[in-house]
Structure 1
Amino acid sequence: MKARKNHISRKLFLQQLSIGIGALGTGIFFPGSLSAAEFLSGKTNNPRKVLVIGAGLAGLGAAWELKKAGHDVTVLEARNRSGGRVSTLRKPFSEGLYAEEGAAAYGATYTVAKNLIEEFGLETMPYPMPEKTVYHLNGKRITYSPGEQVVWPYELNEKEQGMDPMALVKMYIIDTLPQEVGEPDLWKKEPVVNLDHQSLEEYLIKQGASEGAIKLIRNTQWFAAVPGETSALSTGVSDFGLFMMGGVPFILKGGNDKLPQIMADKMKDNIEYGVEVAQVKDNGRGVVVRDKNGKEYTADEAIVAVPLKVTQKIAFEPQLSAAKRSALENMPVMHLTRTFLKVDNPYWLEEGLSGAAHTDLAVGQVNPYFHSQDPQNNPAVLEGYVAGPKAESLARLPEEEVIKEIKTQMEKVYPGIEDHFQKGHVKAWSTDPYALGGPSWPAPGDVTAYLEDLQSSHGRIHFAGEHTSVLRSTMEGALRSGMRAAQKIAVT
């Protein structure tokens, strides 16, 4: 068993994490290192012509590595922008105000992302950590600052009394997970692989958590949105591992999509936008990709780096194996609906509140966004972040009905919103035709049942995306998956 690393600012980090930094379902942090063998080094002696389908982080990561190594790369992207589910929202708001409708933050120990951010000279900022948060749970509204004593509206056992949600997470998860979860490559070995046979909820019960404590964790922690349908292995490796020792997360100045933007700008001559791929064929000599309009592209190899459910919509020839089709069809995704309410000013600051909240209401988790300069005298945004079945239900409604419902629920959390409301915006990832849902979210048994098949190549066709990584739902997992696919081509 390996010793834990990075014993830095544990108390501070746990306090900050307890405020709820994980907004993408996006489960967005992992500190494990990337093997040097997964990076391409030097120029290739066997340049290949490669088609990369998808300009999200997985596709861009693969294309960047291959291009640097001297391969002829063309990226085909269905959208008119790069980034995929790393998406910064700007247009509905005033100049200088933006919100993240996709991935919320970068982990301090995202080794691949940090290497790229440093390579491109992007400016980072610490993730903003609100000090006074609102909780609306079981019909009760509570304002809370870390360290305060609160009587939570759930029936807790004796040892849980007086503990805040993150203290419960520490006691039942952080302090009990095997240390090997910090090494992603060990997921197939005991004791980590054993975690896949139980849900997060079952794991919590096994550690002694009461029903009330599980409800409190579920309604305050992004990774526990559906604890009974979440693989304890995925939680342990993707959401924890060494993450709790890894340091404070950060964001990119100007928006988190600055990373995929600059990668795409550096490869602008290699990317074609507005190309919706319908078929990928391995003809025995190379690959032929056909878009929905019948246009064909040819290459030696292809990397399919689109989201899980979008991959299902592509026709492959020859047909994918039964095991791979089963993996694509049965691996679950987390549904996310994010509603952004622009207000004329951050009126909650007058009460010393941060704008952040955790609730069991239809509004979900509340995230605030301010102007970076002079926030009190400029418009702001309150986001209702809803994950799981509730998000799927909201996604079926017209946008105006979603905004109305979220405003009604937001009034219970931050009263007065109707007096300040200006406009709203809804991002339902389930109805986005180029996403068809949020990130992959393995249920118990799904990692061991499907991950290796999701990763496997199909002749000259390779696959990338966070769903092909044990680091599910993370930007780091997406980037590493692209590196893995690039490596497969480099060694052919």
Structure 2
Amino acid sequence: MEHRYDVLVLGAGAAGLMAAWELSAAGRSVALIEARGRTGGRVHSFHEPGFSLPIELGAEFVHGELPLTRHWRERAVLGQYAVSGSIWQYKGGRLQQQEDFIEEEDALEKVWPQVPEDLPVGTLLDRFLQGARHEELRFTLRRYVEGYYAGNLEQASSFALRRELEGEDEAQYRLETGYGPLLTAIDTECAHQGVFFCLNTPIRSVQWCPGSVRLTATDGRTFVGGALVCTVPIGTWQAGDIEWAPALPAKEAAARQLGFGPVLKLVLRFRDRFWAEGATRADLNFLFSDTDIPAWWTAVPKNEALLTAWLGGPNAAAFRDLPKDALVEKALANLAQIFGREQHWLRGQLVSAHYHNWSQDPYCRGGYSFEVVEGPRWQAELSAPVDSTLYFAGEGLLPGPKIGTVEAALQTGQAAARQLVADHPRT
């Protein structure tokens, strides 16, 4: 006899965990179903024995003061520290410090009054920033959108870029123990509240009618509930990995309009901080380069010899099929070029390398979402509940600048669960 739950939650990342916590706290019986063998989704923290810092292969930064992130950090008694340090650029064979992520912002501010409506960033560059005098600014903006957003110029919203740049002085933090323990705290409370966890369970189809949902896993197991909170990533929607019966064509079409970027993340641990030699580079934090891997960052203000290589957007797509060992060698070659070292010497300094290709991950097919022109319209379509039975959440469904963050996932998971509870009050 099948066990029927009040609610099924599909996906045990931040959104799914938050939804399961809210629902179970409200007295609902919940089954939390996850394709991976772990909870956390695109939060993927672990520790190397004898090394003081967490290795973050997924989400890493806390962008500003975020209410739910702060709530769970304090609830789990987790420390955080501000990200600090200097920004450097390697271009045309020269390594030099720069004052800000985009130094030509004054020129861009003169352009904004001429932009009558939101445009893709690529159109903005072609229409308003032509000519040799804007060549450096075009290069910088392209690097920012493709790197920081993991986006592409054809989709990324220029108005979102403007808002991002106007607020870029917002403080950024890291959690002392990494993001993993924050989600573990929610996971643990869910278990205490009676949530049933079912890991290693990829779902191939969702059959539904008002008041009833049946999930069928790839191994044939089925799960039945009165409602569903679906928190799968935008990349899963876009790939059509789950069959819906009856189909949800409007939601599938909306998902295809949203921005979801490929990401590759490589974390390299060395014997010492060779890049920090000399007083001027002691606090090197972010480094942008015109090499194959365009974005790097260190653990500053911590003094550990940790260096992250980051590829997002089209840069990630170009290397998505490259094996880990080949990417490590490419990273070492890039570092040798940037810092004037021998590649074989750097190889000897390397202690460990950790890598995750989110673009090839079958359970997300990319890194995170970015804002697109008319994005709120498509987000509203995809997030709207269906027949008080299907509810939706995830980092790609929160309009505004927090899209793509753990906070966005937490907020949408909470909102979907609270809407479900309101729609189905206990009698």
Fold equivalence (TM over 0.5): yes
Matching residue within 426, 438, 447 for 2:355: 426
2: distance between equivalents of 1:440 and 1:173? 26
Asked if structure 1 preserves the Cα contact closer than 8 Å seen for 2:234 and 2:255, the reply is yes
Asked if structure 1 preserves the Cα contact closer than 8 Å seen for 2:211 and 2:227, the reply is no
Change in Cα spacing, 1:205 to 1:167, as seen in structure 2 (3 Å) is farther
Question: What CA deviation, in whole Å up to 9, does each residue of 1:240-268 have, x standing for no partner?
Answer: 57x446x4222211112221111112213
| Residue-pair matches, total | 398
Change in Cα spacing, 1:225 to 1:453, as seen in structure 2 (3 Å) is closer
Instruction: Give the structure with the higher percent strand.
Output: 2
Helix, strand or coil for the counterpart of 2:204?
Answer: strand
Question: What CA deviation, in whole Å up to 9, does each residue of 1:158-202 have, x standing for no partner?
Answer: xxxxxx54343466369959xxxxxxxxxxxxx9xx42xx02344
Matching residue within 310, 330, 338 for 1:385: 310
Asked if structure 2 preserves the Cα contact closer than 8 Å seen for 1:173 and 1:204, the reply is no
Tell whether 2:202 aligns with 1:296. Answer: no
Tell whether 2:197 aligns with 1:248. Answer: no
Matching residue within 276, 279, 293 for 1:349: 276
Tell whether 2:417 aligns with 1:490. Answer: no
Report percent identity of matched pairs.
Answer: 22
Asked if structure 2 preserves the Cα contact closer than 8 Å seen for 1:97 and 1:371, the reply is no
* 1:273 paired residue number: 199
Shift of 1:351: 2.4
Change in Cα spacing, 1:145 to 1:398, as seen in structure 2 (3 Å) is closer
2: distance between equivalents of 1:371 and 1:235? 27
Tell whether 2:269 aligns with 1:333. Answer: no
Asked if structure 2 preserves the Cα contact closer than 8 Å seen for 1:328 and 1:454, the reply is yes
Matching residue within 231, 236, 241 for 1:310: 236
* 1:61 paired residue number: 18
Asked if structure 1 preserves the Cα contact closer than 8 Å seen for 2:206 and 2:243, the reply is yes
Asked if structure 2 preserves the Cα contact closer than 8 Å seen for 1:79 and 1:274, the reply is yes
Asked if structure 2 preserves the Cα contact closer than 8 Å seen for 1:96 and 1:371, the reply is no
Asked if structure 2 preserves the Cα contact closer than 8 Å seen for 1:165 and 1:217, the reply is no
Asked if structure 1 preserves the Cα contact closer than 8 Å seen for 2:376 and 2:399, the reply is no
Shift of 1:491: 1.9
Structure 2: any 5+ residue segments left out of the alignment? none
Helix, strand or coil for the counterpart of 1:262?
Answer: helix
Moved more, 216-225 or 94-103: 216-225
2: distance between equivalents of 1:94 and 1:360? 34
Change in Cα spacing, 1:114 to 1:170, as seen in structure 2 (3 Å) is farther
Name the aligned partner's letter for residue 366 of structure 2. Answer: G
Name the aligned partner's letter for residue 173 of structure 2. Answer: F
1: distance between equivalents of 2:372 and 2:135? 20
Shift of 1:301: 0.7
Question: What CA deviation, in whole Å up to 9, does each residue of 1:356-412 have, x standing for no partner?
Answer: 31112112211123795xx4xx6x222210111221121112221111112111211
Helix, strand or coil for the counterpart of 1:395?
Answer: coil
Matching residue within 60, 63, 72 for 2:29: 72
Change in Cα spacing, 1:97 to 1:124, as seen in structure 2 (3 Å) is closer
Tell whether 2:141 aligns with 1:217. Answer: yes
* 1:451 paired residue number: 379
2: distance between equivalents of 1:275 and 1:463? 19
Name the aligned partner's letter for residue 85 of structure 2. Answer: P
Helix, strand or coil for the counterpart of 2:316?
Answer: helix
* 1:481 paired residue number: 412
**RMSD across aligned C-alpha pairs, in angstroms?**
2.9
Q: Trace 1:3-402 onto structure 2 (pairs within 5 A).
A: 49-91=6-48, 94-127=50-83, 129-131=84-86, 133-137=87-91, 139-144=92-97, 146=99, 165-169=101-105, 172=108, 194-195=117-118, 198-203=119-124, 210-219=134-143, 222-223=148-149, 226-236=152-162, 239=164, 243-244=167-168, 247-268=170-191, 269-270=194-195, 271-311=197-237, 312-320=240-248, 322-352=249-279, 353=281, 354=284, 356-369=286-299, 375=303, 380-402=305-327
TM-score by length of 2: 0.83
Asked if structure 2 preserves the Cα contact closer than 8 Å seen for 1:62 and 1:485, the reply is yes
Asked if structure 1 preserves the Cα contact closer than 8 Å seen for 2:149 and 2:261, the reply is no
Question: What CA deviation, in whole Å up to 9, does each residue of 1:83-106 have, x standing for no partner?
Answer: 211222434x75323332222211
Structure 1: any 5+ residue segments left out of the alignment? 1-47, 147-163, 178-190
1: distance between equivalents of 2:15 and 2:188? 16
TM-score by length of 1: 0.73
Shift of 1:72: 1.9
2: distance between equivalents of 1:73 and 1:339? 36
Helix, strand or coil for the counterpart of 1:440?
Answer: strand
Moved more, 303-312 or 203-212: 203-212
